[in-house]
Amino acid sequence: MTGDPTTIRRLYGRRSGHKLREGQAALLEELLPAIGVPEEGALGSAALFGDDRPLHFEIGFGSGEHLAYRADLLPDHGFIGAEPFLNGVVGALAHVRDKRLANVRLHMGDALEVLERLPDASLRFAYLLHPDPWPKARHAKRRMVNHGPLDLIAAKLQPGGEFRLGTDDPTYCRWSMMIMNRRSDFEWLAESAGDFLVRPGGWPETRYEAKARRKGHEVWYFRYRRV
């Protein structure tokens, strides 16, 4: 297998769903420019939030429930999220508006483009929750849990920082365990099976996860410390 998301540089799947309502379109036109990640230049806490604060980065935030929950929980931290799906970005903008979150910055597009521009060792947390599993073997190179993206995540996390991964796909679960077990720069924070079968504190259930459970899917929660 050759290549991974850091070299393929292509976003697959649809970029939008149902037509936006008037209020949703207004959010996109008015709020996103105000809290959007700048398109050019180096990024960091001072550039994004005007001060020195712990940074969190979520890769593919869906509709933003997790991102908004964490940002509301930790108002003195800075949260950066990237999501290519238009309707997901609108959902996150609604959370930002409703919760009056001043500590969130959003990017509608490829997460790797933003991650590359962050200073090394600048992140306290990185999140990858229910990524597309690409279950066919020939599509494994598209999975975000591959060594190229993980090298980048490792570089941007502070020593002692945490990478959180959630999935309800058995193939992705096994794949992630195999890939992560090959790495010496991450320490798996699990001492028993229950540690990744039970949602940790401060990790809210998203609509996607609730939908997966209604379908009878198991959900796995992985926490890794950057060493």
What are the residue numbers of the active site?
132
Helices (H), 12-124: 22-26, 32-35, 45-49, 65-73, 86-99, 111-117
Q: What gap in Å lies between CA 75 and CA 98, rounded to an integer? A: 15
Integer CA distances (angstroms), 207 to 89, 177, 192, in order:
15, 24, 27
Furthest-apart CA pair in the chain: how many Å?
49
DSSP 221: E
CA distance 149 to 104: 23
| 223, two tokens | 């926490």
C-alpha–C-alpha distance, residues 92 and 106, integer Å = 9
Q: How far apart are CA 130 and CA 172, in angstroms?
A: 9
C-alpha distances (whole Å) from 182 to each of 9, 106, 145, 213 are 24, 32, 12, 30
